[in-house]
Amino acid sequence: MELRINSFEEYQNKYRQSVEQPEAFWDEVAQNFSWQQPYDKVLDWNFDEPNIKWFVNGKLNITENALDRHLEKRGNKLALIWEPNDPKERFVRLTYRELYEKVNEFANALKAQGVKKGDRVIIYMPMIPELTIAVLACARIGAVHSVVFAGFSANAIADRIQDAQATMVITADGLNRGPKQVPLKRVVDEALEHCDTIEKVIVYNCLNWAPEMKAGRDIWWHDAIQGMEKVCPAEPMDSEDMLFILYTSGSTGKPKGVVHTCGGYMVYTAYSFQNVFQYRESDVYWCTADVGWITGHSYIVYGPLLSGATTLMFEGVPTYPDAGRFWQVCDKHGVNIFYTAPTAIRALMAAGDDHVLSYSLNSLRVLGSVGEPINEEAWKWYHLHVGKSKCPIVDTWWQTETGGIMLSGLGDLSPMRPAHAGLPLPGIQPVLLDQEGKTIEENEVEGYLCVKFPWPSMLRTTYGDHERCRVAYFSHYKGHYFTGDGAKRDENGLYRIIGRVDDVINVSGHRFGTAEIEQAINANAMVVESAVVGYPHDIKGQAIYAYVICQELPSDPDMMRAQIIETVTEQIGKIAKPEKIQFVSGLPKTRSGKIMRRILRKVAEGESDKLGDTSTLLDPTVVDEIVNGAL
């Protein structure tokens, strides 16, 4: 399957074609996949409802495309390299044939446990090969996977189980993360106290912890696959059948279940993977994300495997056992394409150059960045010390909702400018809108980033609440998908993402809604009200600053802070913990009761001298108190 564009000129031609004749363009791309039944129309759409259908009435199974179809030519090629948390432990390599057999075997196990097409399965797993196997096994039988990042709390899991009305959880006893071990089964057990839809829990034995197993509900992975055949027919799926739900934060308190469907997601993840990274058949490709996020779904699992690539999966963290681990793994496995997040680059940069300088990094050819804007300093360090000034950096802008990379260079083909994501991929039609919703045609401008035409891997709905999908993404600007980001476009048409313009905070590339964190903080019995904002942070990009009103001003603020952090950890997970907590007696509100976050943001950013107009506030005196007490 050859989807790769090979020159900048070819990119320009393809781009033009994709805009002028989108259906013909995608029809040609889609011909590279195996369809059990051909589609009879490429696209049906409107952005008003929205109602988006790609490859209408086509039948396929994404795992047939990611596995079966490679067996003949690539049966003995490595599909997956797994590098453990502990560098002294043995790594695992699975060929396409081996991965095929494991997926089929586990797919049969799922069936034997009663999972049927359309059932929702929650996957809460360590970054081990079985996570990928579980994801693909669900897809094999048409079950809808919903992976929950293994750093979320019991509460967060319970919310997702209930929202998805899931019937199964796949988990492990626990996981390794750097020097720590984290229980998973215990957290699942706690979550299940609040859920009544789950019938079965499959537990992978990762740490030999012998967790409690509830009779009739819990079953070990190794028992579940006993006697299962290594061949399982691939369920025929409609192009628009659900492939997965992935929960992500929005501007309200409740995470949204972003729904992706089979056909379009398959076509776009493979197409974007091969083009953005300029993938070659012999490449070893490594994306350092967790499969629990969209990056892992699209560019550890589906995009690479659909392309017949060798994808590396890493269990650990960048700084264990030391800050050279990423580079050691690159040299050890001869990684050619390396895809990571700015927050990791900044953390490793802060650890000093010695670590990176002790490795050759000779094999690297293309570097990637994702998750948040990459600042120029980090970009330069990445380019010089990791890429040795010879590797292009693709700064890939996209979202959980977009399913795949939207704006990015294509390997070394495209013009590259630090901190700029660059040009749209073929088939992607971004626009910048002004305050009034008018399209800005010129270059060297700034506006709200929207997309005016559908692309195959876009979200179709938010699970169980289509209206929410419409309101969140399609109601701001008629006829446009609204990204929630602000962006600039330079004189050459390259896009630079400025950041979110809504109430979403991006901490180390992870998304949180301010409302979601406030709700979590307010769950603490001592808290009356809170307001959180993001502020710039050297490593995390943004960090969380919380202004909290307690029943009375705490006598021991540090103890109260610790308690609030504990509440947030319980409600969402450690990853959402506020960096700074300031106790206040009031919040700046307008006369209609709306919190003026602009002011709180300025204070958090250390720019209290630039608060602007505060005269419309209900009680302007609270501002002085907040400014004086700023952390």
Footprint of ligand WT7 on this chain (CB under 6 A)? 248, 294-295, 370-373, 395-400, 421, 483-485, 497, 499-500, 506, 509, 511
Shortest spacing between CB 519 and ligand WT7, in angstroms: 19
Beta strands 174-177 and 168-172 are unpaired
Q: E-assigned strands of 101-225?
A: 120-124, 144-147, 168-172, 174-177, 180-183, 200-204, 218-220
Phi, psi for 69 (deg, rounded to 5)? -70, -20
CA dihedral sign of residues 419, 420, 425, 429: positive
Beta-carbon contacts of 611 under 8 Å, excluding residues fewer than 6 positions away, are 599, 602, 603, 623, 627
What is the nearest approach in angstroms of ligand WT7 to the Cβ of residue 449? 8
**Contact (CB, 8 A) for 32 and 235:** no
- The distance in angstroms from the start CA to the end CA of the chain is 55
Residues paired with residue 41 on neighbouring β-strands, in sequence order: 56
* Closest approach of ligand WT7 to the CB of residue 341, in Å: 8
> Residue 487 CB, nearest distance to ligand WT7 (Å)?
9
Q: Which is nearer to ligand WT7, 62 or 497 (CB)?
A: 497
CB-nearer residue toward ligand WT7: 308 or 509: 509
Contact at 8 Å (CB) between 103 and 133? yes
Q: At 482, which helix (H) or strand (E)?
A: strand 481-489
Residue whose CB is less far from ligand WT7, 174 or 292: 292
How many angstroms separate the Cα of 223 from the Cα of each of 107, 116, 218, 247, 448? 14, 20, 11, 30, 52
Q: Which is nearer to ligand WT7, 211 or 534 (CB)?
A: 534
Residue with Cβ nearer ligand WT7 (418 or 499): 499
167 or 269: CB nearest ligand WT7 = 269
Q: Which is nearer to ligand WT7, 307 or 396 (CB)?
A: 396
Pairwise CA distance, residues 209 & 172, whole Å? 10
Residue 483 contacts residue 403 (beta carbons within 8 Å): no
Which is closer to ligand WT7, CB of 25 or CB of 397? 397
Shortest gap between Cβ of 342 and ligand WT7 (angstroms)? 8
Residue 484 C-beta: closest distance to ligand WT7, Å: 6
Compare residues 142 and 427 and give the one whose CB is closer to ligand WT7.
427
Going by C-alpha positions, the residue among 397, 403, 402, 405 that lies closest to residue 481 is 402
Whether the upstream peptide bond of residue 50 has omega within 30° of 0, thus cis, is yes
Between 61 and 400, name the residue whose CB sits nearer to ligand WT7: 400
Give the nearest distance from C-beta 371 to ligand WT7 in angstroms: 4
CA-wise closest residue to 140 among 231, 210, 78: 231
> What are the residues facing 590 on neighbouring strands?
617
Residues 262 and 468 sit within 8 Å (Cβ to Cβ) = no
Where do runs of H (alpha helix) occur along 354-490? 354-357, 376-381, 466-469
Nearer to ligand WT7, 14 or 500 (CB): 500
State the nearest-atom distance from the C-beta of 451 to ligand WT7, in Å. 12
**One-letter identity of residue 139:** A
Residues 6+ apart with CB under 8 A from 152: 124, 572, 573, 575
Which of 370/531 has CB closer to ligand WT7?
Answer: 370
Q: Give least dist CB 419 to ligand WT7, A.
A: 8
Token output for 268: 């776009």
What is the number of residues in the chain?
631
CB of 209 to ligand WT7, least distance (A): 31
Task: Give the burial class of 91: count Cβ atoms within 10 A of its Cβ; 0-12 exposed, 13-18 middle, 19 or more buried.
Answer: middle
At closest approach, how far in Å is the CB of 396 from ligand WT7? Answer: 5
Three-state DSSP at 535 gives strand
Residue 132 beta carbon to ligand WT7: minimum distance, rounded to whole angstroms: 18
CB of 401 to ligand WT7, least distance (A): 7
Closest to ligand WT7 by CB, 287 vs 361, is: 287
